[in-house]
Amino acid sequence: MIVSRLTAIIGPDSSIPTHPTVTPEQLLKEADRCVKCGLCLPHCPTYLVLENEADSPRGRISLIQALARGELRKDPSLENHLSRCLSCRACESVCPSGVRYGELIDGGRALINKEHHGSPLWRRLFDQLSDRNRLARWSSLHNLLRRLGLTRLASLVPSETLRRLIAFGRYLPSKGNTLVGLHASKQPTGRLVQLFTGCVGSQTEQTLIMQALSLLTRLGYAVEIPQSQVCCGALHRHNGYPDDADRLLEENRRQTEISRADCLITLATACQLELDEHLKTKLPIKDLTAFLLDLPEETLPRLLPLKKKVIVHSPCSSHNDRSQDLLQRIPSLEITNFPEEGICCGAAGSYLLTQPKLSAALGEWKTAYLRASQADILITSNTGCALQFRQLIRQMDLEMEVMHPVELFAQQLETRA
Ligand code: SF4
Ligand code: SF4
């Protein structure tokens, strides 16, 4: 039964050819702007952990230059150095020459995949993870394994990636649910917004989605989650499959074009960044925290006080994290944050599966602060970071919840509609 369910979930390989949209000449033009000053090195998490020039931004740019000039062929070592990059872009934000490192690493990976068609297994995994209907079926499968007691045997699985995949499965809902459709407001104002729930987040963040729906409809907005909405494409783009990412974006663009919504609202900072940079739509794209903060204050309901402490994690994908501004509206809430902001938690999208050891090592860096904070709740606005922290907190045996700022905000509404 398990095998037949697995086959039904995985389905046929899409086998859509993928080619990078960036040329070696374009890559070189950008890479040649790097003056090799090294100012970015102390900000690079992988350089700090591995202390190897080839695992630093400057080293990776040199590798990409050599690859684009045809001086280097793809080999496992080259691929490893590029794969170990988190795409956190901490280097980009401190670079005095304004090198667009994010484009370079995505392009470098795409160049490798173009020559060698990438790894079919990884690509299939990204296809699985980015399809929320398939993920809903994974939820059912994981529940079946759990009921049969088989998830307890995960430690016997030889692959670390598979072990992590099974471990993260515990954050899938007991019943796959995509919550798609039109959600009407009880006090309709004629305003409509489209909610972008993402791929993995559409399953692991169902409480957040329900809170977001309840909050927005209470504020007078009708909310639509289109049936055909798909992943934002970040998983594919950052792993060197830009055409797959563009294909996903095109479907999302179509969903915004046929809608009469005034705004596209996101829940995860990584989706917000990807859509902001690549989705060509007429609709404004706003993350829900910013959307709420930009509403006239008098339109927001009053909040109950909360005598608790939260520790706020700012995801790398959030260039202007406004979580604290929203949380400050909750009376009595004590807010603290991590002292070394800007260092990735190690989640980095699919990185927690593709680089499990490094991802875990980076997560470990946060543990001392987590414990010392004595916080009741960890706040993060990104799906991957939430998964990484839930797992860390579980391993540390701490009594700490992980929540999106909007989840806590919605929980403290004075009266329910
Ligand atoms: S990426 Fe920017 S900061 Fe890093 S070495 Fe190149 S020029 Fe210097
Ligand atoms: S994106 Fe992050 S991990 Fe990659 S080179 Fe830049 S700082 Fe290092």
Residue whose CB lies within 8 A of the most ligand 1 atoms, among 39, 63, 101, for a mutation test: 39
Of 350, 406, 409, the C-alpha closest to 380 is: 406
User: According to the 3-state scheme, what is the secondary structure of 256-325?
Assistant: HHCCCCCEEEECCHHHHHHHHHHCCCCCCEEEHHHHHHCCCHHHCCCECCCCCEEEECCCCCCCCCCHHH
Alpha-carbon distance of 182 to 198, in angstroms, equals: 17
Alpha-carbon distance of 376 to 309, in angstroms, equals: 5
Tokens of 336: 């603290």
Q: Does ligand 2 lie within 6 Å of residue 402's CB atom?
A: no
Q: Does ligand 2 lie within 6 Å of residue 86's CB atom?
A: yes
> What confidence score (pLDDT) does residue 16 get?
35
DSSP 8-class letter at 32: T
Q: Whose CA is nearest to atom 8 of ligand 2?
A: 44
231: phi > 0 → left, psi -120 to 50 → alpha, else beta; which? Answer: beta
Of 316, 319, 309, 304, the C-alpha closest to 373 is: 309
Alpha-carbon distance of 128 to 168, in angstroms, equals: 15
Tokens of 373: 């904070």
Atom nearest to 101 CA in ligand 1: 1
| Phi and psi at residue 5, to the nearest 5° | -65, -40
Interval between CA 269 and ligand 2 midpoint (Å): 18
Q: Does ligand 1 lie within 6 Å of residue 99's CB atom?
A: yes
> What confidence score (pLDDT) does residue 9 get?
38
Which of the ligands is closest to the CA of residue 98? 1
Angle at 270 between CA 368 and CA 11, to 5 degrees: 110
Q: Does ligand 1 lie within 6 Å of residue 59's CB atom?
A: no
Give per-10-residue mean pLDDT for the chain (417 aa): 39 39 88 97 95 97 95 87 96 96 95 72 80 77 76 70 74 73 90 95 92 95 94 94 94 95 97 94 95 91 94 90 94 91 87 90 90 95 95 92 97 74
Contact yes or no for 235/130 (Cβ under 8 A): yes
Alpha-carbon distance of 392 to 374, in angstroms, equals: 15
Q: Does ligand 2 lie within 6 Å of residue 343's CB atom?
A: no
> What confidence score (pLDDT) does residue 3 get?
36
Interval between CA 35 and ligand 1 midpoint (Å): 6
Interval between CA 102 and ligand 2 midpoint (Å): 8
Interval between CA 29 and ligand 2 midpoint (Å): 20
DSSP 8-class letter at 234: H
> What confidence score (pLDDT) does residue 166 get?
75
Question: In the chain, what are the domains?
Answer: 24-116 (1.10.1060.10), 121-169 (no CATH), 181-293 (3.40.50.1860), 303-411 (3.40.50)
Q: Whose CA is nearest to atom 7 of ligand 1?
A: 34
